[in-house]
Structures are given as C-alpha cells and as structure tokens.
Chain A
Amino acid sequence: MADAVTVRLTVNGVEREGRCEPRKLLVDFLREDLGLTGTHVGCEHGICGACTILIDGEAARSCIMLAVQADGAELLTIEGLMRDGKLHPLQEAFREHHGLQCGFCTPGMLMTALDLLRTNPSPTEAEIREGISAVLCRCTGYHGIVRAVEAAARKMR
C-alpha cells in the first residue's frame, strides 16, 4: 500500500480536496471520498459507460482513470447537471420520453448526450445512435433515449 496523496479538483463548480492512494480510481474517489454516488460503476473496464463524467468539458470514463490523474481538473458529474434548481433540458427530455427505466446507466448516458450535443448540436438519428453507443443501456432498447436527445437538441438550439 502506497502513501496517500492529496488530490485537488473542481467538481460541479466547487473546489474539492481529498487524500487517497495513488492507485485509487477516479470513480471510487468521487463516490467514496467526495460522496458523489450519482456516478455509477458498471464494468471497470471502460465499456459500459455508466461512469462517464465530463473532465475539462469532455466526456471521459472515470473508471479507467486514476484520481491523481484528475488533479487540478474541472469535473462535471450528474449531481451538477441541474442549474438553479431546474432540470437540464436533457433531464427533462429523458423524463418526457421515457428515456430511463432502472436508472443505472442514466447518469453516464446523460453526460454522454451532453457531450454529443456540445460537439454536434443538430445530430441526425444515426448520429445520436452512434454518439450514445458509448453507453450501454439494458432496459430501454435506447428508443426513448434517442427520442429524448432529439427533443433536447431542438430545445437547446
């Protein structure tokens, strides 16, 4: 076991600090050290995408990254998606279009969709399907999710 190191980063606009072993995964640091359990662990090998967050504005998998690698970075997690107590248009659209069932992939799916619409504000259905293929959902068959992202894109333009 190596000595603990200090990790300082900004999460959802708030400066946070914690001490952990250098080997600690970023997702475990978020969940265990910072108490942000909204980011989920589904595979720990970078496939299912449940742990997706935004790091310095870009979608990244927090399960295949160490906390120390995020030192100094700016993170956005699912807990920071609401603004001024109001749901983000993507969150609204997921509810409206039944884009979630068990909710476990939902945080990663929302953060991935956010990244998609940042880089492509007017995606076609095929582009949405390709874009969210970074996250596995086992419940919905993606139908409601695709409709939700289409609707949110229209609203956000």
Chain B
Amino acid sequence: MPLIGAPVRRVEDARFLTGQGRYVADLTLPRMLHVAFLRSPHAHAGIVSIDAHPARELPGVLACITGDEIATQARPMRAESRMAGYHPTECPPLARGKVRFAGEAVAAVLAESRYTAEDALELVDVRYATLPVVGTPEAAMAGGAALVHEAAGSNVLLTRAFVQGDVDGAMRDAALVVGDRFRFHRHAGVTIENRACLADWNPGVGELTLWSSTQVPGLLREGLAALLDLPVHRLRVVAPDVGGGFGVKSALYPEEVAVCALARLTGRPVQWVADRREDLLTSTQAWDETIDAELAVNADGTIRGLRARVVADVGAYSIHPWTAAIEVVQVISFLPGPYRVEHYRGEAWGVATNKAPMGPYRGVGRPVSTFVTEALVDRAARRLGMDPVALRLRNLIRPDELPYRSPSGVVWDSGSFVESLERARDAAGYEHVRAEQERARRAGRYVGVGVACYVELTGVGSAIPASPGAAISTGTEGATVRVDPGGTVTASFGLACHGQGHETTLAQVVAEELGARLEDVRVVSGDTAAGPVGTGTYASRSAVIGGGAAILAARALREKALAIAAHLLEVSADDLTLGDGRATVRGTPHRGLTLREIAGAAYAGAKRLPKGMEPGLEATRFYDPYFGTASNATHIAVVEVDPETCAVIVRRFVVVEDCGRIINPLIVEGQAIGGVAQGVGAALLEEVVYADDGQLLTGSLMDYLVPTAAELPAVEVVHLEHPSPTTLGGFKGVGEGGTIGAPAAVANAIADALQPFGMELSELPATPDRLFRLLSRPRTTSSPETP
C-alpha cells in the first residue's frame, strides 16, 4: 500500500501523550536566569526617567536593564519592504524615548527565579509623560493627530491598490449594486503555549543559541544576526516542541532580541516564558479592518465588478520581517475570490495606532476578504431573488478557464471551485435544509444557511514574497536526506513544526520516494544547525515546498542506492526495485540488498562502489514551486439564532476541500476542522477590545473567549483530491483554509436566519450584544457601529 495518502497514525504522538514533549518552558540550563519584563501601563507616553536602582538591590536580582542600556547590544528591528507607499518604522527590543502601546516592554529584570524577577518589577520606578492616545485609524488619519512614529511623518504606514478594468463604469452600468461598510474586529491567535524563549551565549566559540517557541527559526536566525552584529553561522535558532503557532509565532519579537542581548551581556543563559496576560498584550493580533465594498451584478446574477476601500489598524509597529502590509494588502489581493471579476479596484491603507502590532494569523487577509465578498454575493442573490448557490455557480471560475489570472495578479493554477460547491450543496442536503428552515420559521425558530467559497494561494514560491512586498525570500525550502550506516534514514528540513505532524507526513513522503520503511525514517526540523537553510513553517507552505524538496532528495538517494546495489549484485539498475528498505532483483525476490547493506557499501568507499562514484548516501535538494498552487473549498454552515438571547448555535458545518494530492487524510481533516474551529470562534466569540485610552480590556481568557468543545459542532469534511498540476507531488497547502471559509459561512448563515427581521450582518464577531443592538435598530439601516 502506498504511504502517501495513507491515514498513518502520528509518530510524534507518543511523547505528547506521555508528558515527554519538550517545549521551551521545559528546558533549563545550568546558571540560567529568568527574565521578567516591565511593561508600560500607558498606551502612548514619553519615558521621562527610569530608576532601576531599588530593583537591582533585591536579593536574587542580577540586573535590571533599560532600553537605553540594551541599545548598545542590539539594534532596533526595521521591517523593510519593496512596496512603494510603505514607510518603515523601528521597533527597539526595549522601549526608548517613548512607549507606543500598553504592554510594551520598558525594562528587563534578570533574577534567579521568575518569582523574584516579578517582585523586582514592582521596585522599578518609571516616570511617564502621557501623550494623546491614537485609538483608531480614523483618529490617526485626522489632521493634527499625534504621531505613533514621528520619523515616519504620518500614521499611514502604507497604501496599496490593485486595479483592473473600469470598475466605476461597471458600477454605473450594472443592473444592481450592493454595498456596505463591513467591519471585522481585532482578533488574537491564542496559542495554548504562550511565547517563550531561552538564549545561551557561548563565549568560547562566539556562538549564540536561541531556543524559541517560533514557527520560523531560519528567519529568526537571519534577523537576529543582523540586529546582534553576529555572522549568521554564529547563531543557532532552535524551535523545539511548539504549542501552536497559527501565524502568531512567525514574527521576530522584541523579547527574542532582548533575551539574546541579555544572555550575551550577562554571560548566563536567559529564559523568558510569557504569561497569558503578556501574550494577550503583546503577541501580534489580526484583522481589525473596515471595508467599504460594493459589488455590481447584471440582472442575471453575473458579476460585473467589485470595488473596495480597506482601512486596517496595524497597531504600533510594523512587524519584522512581514511588515504592516501583511494583513491588509492580502485583503485586497484576495477580495475577488474564486469568481470571475472583470472590473476591480481594491485600495488599502495600513494605519498605525497605539495598540499591539498586527501580524499574520491563520488565513491572513482572506478570512476578511471572504467574509466581505461572500456577504455581498448573498445580498446580490437576495435582491435578485436568486438562490445564493445558483448565483455562485454562475460566477465561479470554471476548470476550462484555468490557469486564471485574478484582478490582483494572483495566478490560480488549478481548482475545483464549481465541484466543491456542488459537492458541499449535496453533502449538506441543501434542499432539505432549506425546507427545514421554512418549517422552523413557521414554528418561530430562526435557522439560517450560509455558504462560503474561497480559493487561497499556498506553497508560494519565489515569484512573490509570502507577505506582500516584504524584502525577504520565502520561496524555497531544502531537505537533507541521509541513510546512515545502520540503514536508518534522517530527513532534515529548515521547516519548523507546531502541530502539523511533519514528523509523520514528511516521513511518509521520504519513505515512499526513497523506498525505505516508514519506521526507519526520522524527520528532524526546527533547528538551524541540523537542517538545510530554510525559513520555517507558515503560509501553508510546508507540505508543498518541504514535501517537494523531500521528493527531490529522496529520489536522488534512491537512484544512488540502486546504482550501488546494481554494482554489488552485478545486475542492471533497471532490473532492481527498491521498496520497504530493500533493493530486490525483479523476478528473483531472494536476490537483493537491504538499505543497510547498501549504506554500508556507500560509506566503505571506492573499494565497493562503482568506479568514480562519490562515497556516502546523503542528498540535499532545494525546491521552489515558483508561483505556488491554489487550494480551494466550500463551507456550509447551518445556524440557529435565538432572537431572545441573541445566542447563535452552529447546528452543522460542512467542508468540501481540495488540497490536491493528500499525504495523510487524518492530518488534512485535523487541519480543516481545527481551522474551522478558529473561524467559528472568530465569527461568534473572539474579539480583542481596547478602551479609548488604549488599555486592553481583554487581557485574560475570561474576557477573550475562544471556543470550547461545547460551542462547536461535529464538522463534516469531504475531500476532493485534484493533484496540483504545478507542484512536485501534486500537493497543495491546507493549514489555513478552515479559518478562511468559516467566518464567512457563519456570518452568511446568521444573516440568512435574520431575514425575517430584514437585517444584514456587516460586522464580526456576531456577539450576542452586537446582534441585540442590530435587532433593536430600525429595519432600514444596517451599517455597523464605527469603532
């Protein structure tokens, strides 16, 4: 049975199930110090003075370091972009001169225990001079607004637009234009493991090692080397077991720079483990966009054009290396979705405020773009008296139109847009659900059905950076596959895993392509010293790019192993098969050599090898899929809204997804359902709330609500499996999709349920209080509150 495609149980589970995982907080080093950061209580304030003396006097405290002191050890981060209309800003490891959001680190206390370090924080006396708080993009863009970054000269850190055709003409000529102001509020990723890092400086060899709960050890190494003035090969970054990432752990953080600088400064290992409050205060947040969008359609439901203006609250800093453009530019890149949109204009503004920085979060931009476009499609269908599925089927890009260049320039290499909608309609029993909805309405119950279709670019190669404009390379990954003299196989990658099961899926790929036994393949990743150069795991890239590199390296080894075996067996390599760890002569099964025997010969050298062959059995290959490949899905949600309590219950959720050739269906299903859970949370519960003075009001998990098992339905997943025509192995990415479709499907289902009230839903999350206010309004208005 082929290994690729098999529901192999995960090899990494054994350690996690028995409490033997090793996360950063589980690591200790001799003489290790614990750091606690003093965090600003103000959202925007000048730092007048810092008196760290009393803190330094506390027994057990080694040092208390301020922003000015650490500045001699590490440069501020500066995220560069190739994008015109982008203003880079600087982010110091510890604030200097002023603080730009509540929670920004101002000083670091190093002590023998975290308890003592936190005691000492209370003894640090910081005098602040408060500045006017820039609370919203509207306020930030107003004349005379205080500047978050004086050096940028404006709070608008970036502008970008995509234009195709004559969208204003299309709006003029269309039979119908539907439009609204949409709002998707600020969101937090909430990995269950908070961020953590541990740095160790080895003065003897001049090497710094950073263990960090990160998705991107390779990117961290490059970034830190520049900031710390170290050659890249004197830095090692290790991501050990990582307790969830979801994009939140894919930026370089000030705390990572700080612990490195502090370890080098003190000559002792330094560990920082965030608590939940720190995580909610300082980890990158997502979305927070206001979108004015209009869709023009013909009387028969054919889409003519789409235009949108998107304003994003990017928070206080442009994060390294993705920049403040990552979220909002992706919104305008992907607003046209999987539809034929001839005329398009999308404009984006990224505006700095005194809030935690915005960063990538599962889906990046596309949960928002899908919410907006799918809501407009539903509204157009309602106004035209068409079924929303029928209107979508009329406009979805058909297989014969692929590859298709979207209005923002993204190329869809492939996709099963129509098929996924039809299959989802059938899997949900759409007609039956509609009939039930009618019966429920007559009984005074408000049931709604919501459909969302999306397409996403995954496994992005070197044609474009994974974040729009970012001045880094993200298009390649490598794999080193080595058969050791024992015949066992180590496959190392520059990727980093935080729950995706790479130790299983990449082993499946290597074992099948090489012809090794699955149990003999060990996957190593997340350590810049152990694998080829790479960046890490983000943007639904690892299966595509890492898997492609694994295929290339494994095939090279297979060819070499067969050549060695052919030489030793004195047969032609064409007469050999290699599988299950053994090269066998066709038709003569008893004649053969195990991978161990072949490896023994390979390392024995010229004596046993074909003339001129290099010894060893190891290969490193890199892969670049260039454009990347399109994954797509349709989500259908069935919800019930209680008009008394305004609670929303998700009754059913159907996913029909196409991630190309599946490596492991268990993992694909897990990714899809896990993504849906986050999308349902985003649609109904999760919202980061700041007060007008920039104080975070959702600083605990009692205030920031993520879904529990009780709020989620059993999700029904159907796999379509159309291999990518453009990537090695036919793989497509599947890590983010669940979160892209779910908010839109739930929002459309709620809007559908509320049709008897004549309401449209323009704002997420649809919390009970928000729905209550919506239902309490006169029926003619549907614009959301302005923030």
**Cβ proximity bits B674-712 to A, threshold 8 Å, 1 near / 0 not:** 111110000000000000000000001110001011111
* Contact call A42/B192, Cβ cutoff below 8 A: yes
Q: What is the predominant secondary structure among interface residues of chain A facing chain B?
A: loop
The segment from B21-29, B87-95, B197-205, B304-312 that touches chain A is B21-29
Q: Give the residues from 692 to 745 in chain B that come closer than 8 angstroms, CB to CB, to chain A.
A: 700-702, 706, 708-712, 714-715, 738
**Cβ proximity bits A52-66 to B, threshold 8 Å, 1 near / 0 not:** 000000000000000
Q: Give the residues from 91 to 115 in chain B that come closer than 8 angstroms, CB to CB, to chain A.
A: 115
Interchain CA distance A129-B678 in the complex, whole Å: 17
Is A133 among interface residues, defined by CB-CB distance under 8 A? yes
Is B13 among interface residues, defined by CB-CB distance under 8 A? yes
The segment from B567-575, B639-647, B665-673 that touches chain A is B665-673
CB neighbours (8 Å) of A73 from chain B are: none
* Contact call B714/A125, Cβ cutoff below 8 A: yes
Contact (A144, B706) CB under 8 Å given A94-B17, A104-B23: no
Using CB atoms, name the residue of chain B closest to A94.
B17
* Contact call A38/B276, Cβ cutoff below 8 A: no
Interface size on A, residues (CB 8 A): 57
* Contact call B708/A136, Cβ cutoff below 8 A: yes
Interchain CA distance A105-B700 in the complex, whole Å: 17
CB neighbours (8 Å) of B676 from chain A are: 141
Task: Report the minimal beta-carbon distance from B721 to chain A, rounded to whole angstroms.
Answer: 19
Is B30 among interface residues, defined by CB-CB distance under 8 A? no
CB neighbours (8 Å) of B26 from chain A are: 31, 37
Is B501 among interface residues, defined by CB-CB distance under 8 A? yes
Interchain CA distance A80-B563 in the complex, whole Å: 50
* Contact call B19/A38, Cβ cutoff below 8 A: yes
* Contact call B23/A96, Cβ cutoff below 8 A: no
Interchain CA distance A98-B738 in the complex, whole Å: 17
Q: Give the residues from 107 to 145 in chain A that come closer than 8 angstroms, CB to CB, to chain B.
A: 107, 110, 125, 128-130, 132-145
Q: Give the residues from 68 to 106 in chain A that come closer than 8 angstroms, CB to CB, to chain B.
A: 77-79, 81-82, 87, 91, 94-96, 98, 100-106
* Contact call A138/B242, Cβ cutoff below 8 A: no
Q: Which of B10, B700, B710 is in CB contact (< 8 Å) with A129?
A: B710
Q: Give the residues from 595 to 634 in chain B that come closer than 8 angstroms, CB to CB, to chain A.
A: none
Using CB atoms, name the residue of chain A closest to B704.
A47
* Contact call B9/A95, Cβ cutoff below 8 A: yes
Name which of A36, A39, A104 has the most chain B CB atoms within 10 A of its CB. A104
Task: Report the minimal beta-carbon distance from B644 to chain A, rounded to whole angstroms.
Answer: 22
Q: Top 7 A-B pairs ranked by shortest CB distance?
A: A38-B19, A103-B16, A104-B243, A141-B677, A102-B499, A101-B499, A78-B19
Residues in A lying within 8 Å of B, measured CB to CB: 1, 21, 23-24, 31, 36-45, 47-48, 50, 77-79, 81-82, 87, 91, 94-96, 98, 100-107, 110, 125, 128-130, 132-146
Residues in B lying within 8 Å of A, measured CB to CB: 9-10, 12-23, 25-26, 59-60, 115-116, 119, 190-194, 241-246, 273, 275-276, 498-501, 666-667, 669-670, 673-678, 700-702, 706, 708-712, 714-715, 738
| 12 interchain pairs, CB-CB under 8 A | A31-B25, A38-B19, A47-B700, A78-B18, A95-B9, A96-B9, A102-B193, A103-B241, A130-B710, A138-B674, A139-B670, A143-B669
